[in-house]
Chains A and B, each alone.
Chain A
Amino acid sequence: DSGVTQTPKHLITATGQRVTLRCSPRSGDLSVYWYQQSLDQGLQFLIHYYNGEERAKGNILERFSAQQFPDLHSELNLSSLELGDSALYFCASSGGPDSPLHFGNGTRLTVT
């Protein structure tokens, strides 16, 4: 068990809808990262938050947004969903820059 908790485990929704994925980092970790994993794209970095502030952005679509709250949990919001957004979404946490990332077990999003 990595100590990183992601909810829900599975999510099925329709195109055009909006969903929120939640992540609770390991106790004491200030950094939260979001990754998207699809079959043909591998693990794609979306965004990194450190202690509530955005630190880095990857190839995150404008329809996607994230935030990290004062209690350090994070949420990834996906809106105007398209079929191509179906993927596994992973959250990872770490204690600081270039420290090991510890991943949750992901949320599997299916857009129909």
Chain B
Amino acid sequence: GENVEQHPSTLSVQEGDSAVIKCTYSDSASNYFPWYKQELGKGPQLIIDIRSNVGEKKDQRIAVTLNKTAKHFSLHITETQPEDSAVYFCAAYSGSARQLTFGSGTQLTVLP
């Protein structure tokens, strides 16, 4: 089945700096790659997603890039703010397996 690896597991940045989280996937049939933000005591919240026919997508301070050949995708957050502090999860959807597989998460801390 699909295997998603996520790095780093923890990331601390100064407010205003950029943060980058990277993921790799194993199933070449995966075609949908969402990113989720999870705050304490809440469920994961979708922040951005990308499909396999697109190489990059941007939404204000958040962008995601996808390299299908290398099977990796990344989340970029620019101009980080303290409220960006949370756990971020990448995920990959495999149509053959009909399931969304998550990475292990990155604890992002934005220091004021």
Interface residues of A (CB under 8 A from B): 2, 4, 33, 35, 42-43, 45, 48, 55-56, 58, 90, 92, 97-98, 100-106
CB–CB A48/B98 < 8 A? yes
CB–CB B100/A101 < 8 A? yes
Task: Give the secondary structure class of A's interface.
Answer: strand
Q: Please name all residues of chain A whose beta carbon is closer than 8 Å to the beta carbon of B44 when the two chains form the complex.
A: 43, 90, 103
- One of B15-23, B58-66, B101-109 contacting the partner: B101-109
CB–CB A101/B98 < 8 A? no
The answer for the CA separation of A96 and B22 in the assembled complex, in Å, is: 27
Closest Cβ of chain B to A32, distance in Å, is: 13
Residues of B in contact (CB 8 Å), total 24
Q: A2-B43, A98-B93, A105-B43 are in contact. Are A58 and B34 (CB under 8 A)?
A: no
CB–CB A56/B102 < 8 A? no
Task: Give the secondary structure class of B's interface.
Answer: strand
CB–CB A2/B100 < 8 A? no
Interface residues of B (CB under 8 A from A): 31-32, 34, 36, 41-46, 49, 51, 89, 93, 95, 97-105
Q: Please name all residues of chain B whose beta carbon is closer than 8 Å to the beta carbon of A43 when the two chains form the complex.
A: 44, 89, 102, 105
CB–CB A33/B100 < 8 A? yes
Q: Which 9 A-B pairs have the closest CB atoms?
A: A103-B43, A56-B98, A98-B32, A43-B102, A42-B104, A105-B43, A98-B93, A103-B44, A56-B99
Q: Please name all residues of chain A whose beta carbon is closer than 8 Å to the beta carbon of B51 when the two chains form the complex.
A: 98
CB–CB A45/B100 < 8 A? yes
Closest Cβ of chain B to A22, distance in Å, is: 15
Q: Please name all residues of chain A whose beta carbon is closer than 8 Å to the beta carbon of B89 when the two chains form the complex.
A: 42-43
Q: Please name all residues of chain B whose beta carbon is closer than 8 Å to the beta carbon of A98 when the two chains form the complex.
A: 31-32, 51, 93, 95
Q: Please name all residues of chain B whose beta carbon is closer than 8 Å to the beta carbon of A105 when the two chains form the complex.
A: 41-43
CB–CB B98/A2 < 8 A? no
Centre residue among A42, A104, A106 by max chain B CB count within 10 A? A42
The answer for the CA separation of A45 and B1 in the assembled complex, in Å, is: 12
The answer for the CA separation of A92 and B43 in the assembled complex, in Å, is: 9
